[in-house]
Structure 1
Amino acid sequence: MSKVAIPFSEPPWLMGMPSAYYGESHRKWQKTCRALVDELMADAGEWEKAGDVPEDLYGKFAAANLLVPNLSAPLPVKWLQKAGITELPGGLKVEEFDYLHTLIYADEMARSGSMGPGGAITTGVAFGLPPILKFGSQELQERFVPDILTGKKRICIAITEPEAGSDVSNIVTTAAKSKDGKYFVVNGAKKWITNGLWSDYASMAVRTGGPGPSGLSMLVVPLLNMPGVTMRRIKVGGQTAAGTTFIELDDVMVPVSNLIGQEGRGMIYVMQNFNHERLTISIGVNRLSRVALGSAFEYVMKREAFGKTLMEQPVVRHRLAKCGAELEAHWAWVEQFVYCMTKFTEEEANRELGGLTALAKAQAGKVLEVCASNAILLFGGNGYTKSGQGEIAERIYREVPGARIPGGSEDVMLDLAIRQLVKNYQRKTKELETAMERPKGSSKL
């Protein structure tokens, strides 16, 4: 039997509010995703406690064609059809998939309130495969794309290093060509790499040239059972089941044919890849905030203190109202960006939304901090306990740093957003001035 949703526990369009964004295929897709994710991730909370996911979980997602929606729209239809994937669950044609379908999938995957199990499934395909699809040669795609799309092989994205996080241009992992010119010899280390433990390959940022951004390239680097590669798990405060990994690379021989795109253009590829990452992070973190706030809202309606329910206390209602306003404002902003993604070309989206997406990602972390910390306070002692009624709030609160740092740390995102907005303003001003200077009228005598 269905029940009335707790306020703030669902986005407005799922609370019965009219929306201009979503059509019938989106509504059908949402129901399909929710049913499948609820089934496949039913024990996500227990997996997060244990710090790992079942070995067969990735295969189950692959069998259900639920790895594909991690990619940005439009999907790589040609490759999907070659792999025998013409439809996603619920009968959604791969060529009809748009970025609103991506939003719905990312939102549903975060609904369990545990980021680790979802991260163990989504991160590699979502961020490791796109550089190959967008910038790789036909031959490179032939070798790697089919097996990754079907889940036969796994991939991760490996950018961050012990000394280079948000400052990508400071990467020091080197890839020098062998004397015979057939290999890149890779040396260095990558840190905080989600899914690394289980990945056959990494789309890796390496230094093939001199200092600075122009010296960076991207390679597909084999990981599992590869001579010279050592991987170990890193224990982190949140996303404990996502397989966060430290990767050491000691004279790893990578064929030169594994170069993604052109040598020296790695910084460009990394930056463009970040836009999809930051937008999907914003979506998932917003849902995590909903789970925290919704669970606290439900709790205070039944918990009694001083002879009345907590909801009857004005200070409690005040906390809920402030959190709800932050949450819904952020969601409306993200929805607008996603809608733009369905209308823009990729070039337009990168140019117009890059800085704004960074800002939305930064704001997502702030919203989560507000919602999670207030949920803890509203649950009281139960919110400080790793079991029982408030365990969901306690678990989500540990995810706040993971929302504010990975994918571009908060202060870097804030600065990036303004710099890109200024750049766009100056470009448009120059274009307008140039247009006004053009001669008008007929050239006829």
Structure 2
Amino acid sequence: MNSRYFTEEHELFRKSFQEFLQKEVVPHIEKWEETGTIERFIWEKFGEMGYFGLNYSEEYGGLNLDIFYTVIFLEELQKINSGGFAAAMWAHAYLAMTHLDKEGDHRIKEKYLAPSISGEKIGCLCISEPSGGSDVAGMRTTAVKKGDKYLINGSKTFITNGVYSDYLVVAAKTAPELKGKGMSIFVIDRETPGISATKLNKLGWRASDTAEIAFDNVEVPASNLMGEEGKGFPYIMQHFAFERLIMGINAHARAEFALDYTLKYMKEREAFGRTIDKFQALRHSYADMASEVEMAKEFNYSIAERMHRGVYVVKEASMSKLLSTKIADEIIYKCLQFLGGYGYMEDYPLARLLRDSRLGPIGGGTSEILREIIAKMVIDGKEYKPAAK
């Protein structure tokens, strides 16, 4: 492990988290993959162990630890071969909860953030819509103010934890005529009348509940507005840098898992009188893949370190997600090929890993969108700035 970023305390945390996952999570993964439902008890166990509060304030039950504890959390979740379970955990802890932490007032943090840290409440973030996922500014969901309430109408889709969460962090247009500048963020209780969710059937991430959500004249108290009205777009853009880095870290971790598994297989699998790790064509291909993962990992660690220092790393995080997810998909594809017919069998981990990995270049901003965002920065000289506080 690279000691430039990780201390002995980090490594002790990694070991204890690995042991927790093997004991408390892995025995249930196959069931959750089949049912598409992660049982509530595991959320509570994560909360009891403090895993949802790694980077949050002690005032609300968090541990206020540095970003590399989060990096470890993300990496190890990728190595139990359930992208859906991992997504449910990090979408709760770093998508929904990030908005509560950064834009929520004290009342909202006490009501939603504290029980999210303890695992008593599950959250989801609702941004993408059926009419357009990556086009955030073009969203059509509206929030019209009526006295001391907002009336929300519209729909969201591809929402992780969208079926079983207890609350929803929702982006909606409070001033549609202003386009991106007319967007605001709300937190809404699941049981609020007018909310309905439809579970989506996915290629991968099958353990997680991904939903299309409809809002039909949903009344939300004005006090559930988070941050300033009309500032929703810069809030979302600011947090996208973190989400993209998360996706990049996830990618290098699952690629590393694929390589580790494949190497063990190569050392045991015999063909033509010797184990296949002795065949030059496979050895050199493996060397190329290991080099790519090491480069992606080092780049992602350096971005995390800069983010920890308060640098706005939207360019680097976008590059991380673009390249790391591409590398992961290519490596997992090749690793499956190394296993031959066994790679295609569900009894081996590569088939699920291939399906789960394929969402990397899609979720959190497609690779096509990221290329244009990066092009604007490196070719046109465009500067993206954090939301004003």
TM-score band by shorter chain is over 0.9
1:221 match: secondary structure: strand
CA drift at 1:422: 5.6
2:374 pairs with 417, 420, 423, which one? 417
Matches for 1:163-202 after TM superposition, within 5 Å = 163-178=131-146, 181-202=147-168
Q: 1:197 and 1:425, CA in 2 relative to 1: closer, same or farther beyond 3 A?
A: closer
1:257 pairs with 213, 217, 223, which one? 223
User: Is the 2:83–2:357 Cα contact (8 Å) retained in structure 1?
Assistant: no
1:220 match: secondary structure: strand
Deviations 1:94-121 (A, max 9, x none): 24x1011111111111111211112222
Q: Give the aligned partner of residue 186 of structure 2.
A: 219
CA drift at 1:29: 1.6
User: Is the 2:170–2:185 Cα contact (8 Å) retained in structure 1?
Assistant: yes
- Once residues 299 and 93 of structure 2 are traced to their aligned partners in structure 1, the CA distance between those partners, rounded to angstroms, is 25
Determine whether 1:400 maps to 2:357: yes
CA drift at 1:171: 0.4
Q: Give the aligned partner of residue 115 of structure 1.
A: 83
- Once residues 426 and 61 of structure 1 are traced to their aligned partners in structure 2, the CA distance between those partners, rounded to angstroms, is 38
User: Is the 2:142–2:176 Cα contact (8 Å) retained in structure 1?
Assistant: no
Give the stretch that moved more between structures: 141-150 or 416-425: 416-425
User: Is the 1:187–1:251 Cα contact (8 Å) retained in structure 2?
Assistant: yes
2:337 match: secondary structure: helix
Determine whether 1:136 maps to 2:104: yes
Q: TM-score, normalised by structure 1?
A: 0.82
Q: 1:262 and 1:271, CA in 2 relative to 1: closer, same or farther beyond 3 A?
A: same
Q: Give the aligned partner of residue 328 of structure 1.
A: 294
Q: 1:56 and 1:45, CA in 2 relative to 1: closer, same or farther beyond 3 A?
A: closer
How big is the alpha-carbon RMSD for the aligned residues of Structure 1 and Structure 2?
A: 1.9
Q: Which amino acid aligns with 1:364?
A: S
- Once residues 136 and 51 of structure 1 are traced to their aligned partners in structure 2, the CA distance between those partners, rounded to angstroms, is 30
- Once residues 114 and 382 of structure 2 are traced to their aligned partners in structure 1, the CA distance between those partners, rounded to angstroms, is 41
CA drift at 1:260: 0.8
User: Is the 1:354–1:420 Cα contact (8 Å) retained in structure 2?
Assistant: no
What is the number of residues matched between the two proteins?
A: 382
Q: Give the aligned partner of residue 335 of structure 2.
A: 375
2:184 match: secondary structure: strand
CA drift at 1:145: 2.3
Q: Which runs of 5+ in 2 are unaligned?
A: 385-389
Q: Which amino acid aligns with 2:185?
A: M
2:216 match: secondary structure: strand
1:205 match: secondary structure: strand
Q: Which amino acid aligns with 1:201?
A: Y
Q: Give the aligned partner of residue 26 of structure 2.
A: 42
Determine whether 1:52 maps to 2:37: yes
Matches for 1:23-422 after TM superposition, within 5 Å = 23-43=7-27, 45-46=29-30, 47-69=32-54, 73=55, 75-80=56-61, 94-95=63-64, 97-178=65-146, 181-211=147-177, 212-223=179-190, 225-342=191-308, 344-345=309-310, 349-350=311-312, 353-387=313-347, 391-421=348-378
Q: Which amino acid aligns with 2:26?
A: A
CA drift at 1:148: 2.1
- Once residues 355 and 157 of structure 2 are traced to their aligned partners in structure 1, the CA distance between those partners, rounded to angstroms, is 20
Q: 1:130 and 1:236, CA in 2 relative to 1: closer, same or farther beyond 3 A?
A: same
1:238 match: secondary structure: coil
CA drift at 1:426: 7.5
2:202 match: secondary structure: coil
- Once residues 138 and 161 of structure 1 are traced to their aligned partners in structure 2, the CA distance between those partners, rounded to angstroms, is 29
Identity %: 27
- Once residues 26 and 305 of structure 1 are traced to their aligned partners in structure 2, the CA distance between those partners, rounded to angstroms, is 41
User: Is the 2:84–2:356 Cα contact (8 Å) retained in structure 1?
Assistant: no
1:374 match: secondary structure: helix
Q: 1:142 and 1:42, CA in 2 relative to 1: closer, same or farther beyond 3 A?
A: closer
Q: TM-score, normalised by structure 2?
A: 0.93
Deviations 1:148-181 (A, max 9, x none): 2222222111100001211100100111122xx1
2:286 match: secondary structure: helix
- Once residues 414 and 77 of structure 1 are traced to their aligned partners in structure 2, the CA distance between those partners, rounded to angstroms, is 38
2:79 match: secondary structure: coil
User: Is the 1:44–1:117 Cα contact (8 Å) retained in structure 2?
Assistant: no
2:125 match: secondary structure: strand
Q: Which amino acid aligns with 1:227?
A: P
Q: Which amino acid aligns with 1:288?
A: R
Q: Give the aligned partner of residue 387 of structure 2.
A: none
Give the stretch that moved more between structures: 167-176 or 111-120: 111-120
User: Is the 1:136–1:261 Cα contact (8 Å) retained in structure 2?
Assistant: yes
2:5 match: secondary structure: coil
Q: Which runs of 5+ in 1 are unaligned?
A: 1-12, 86-93, 428-445
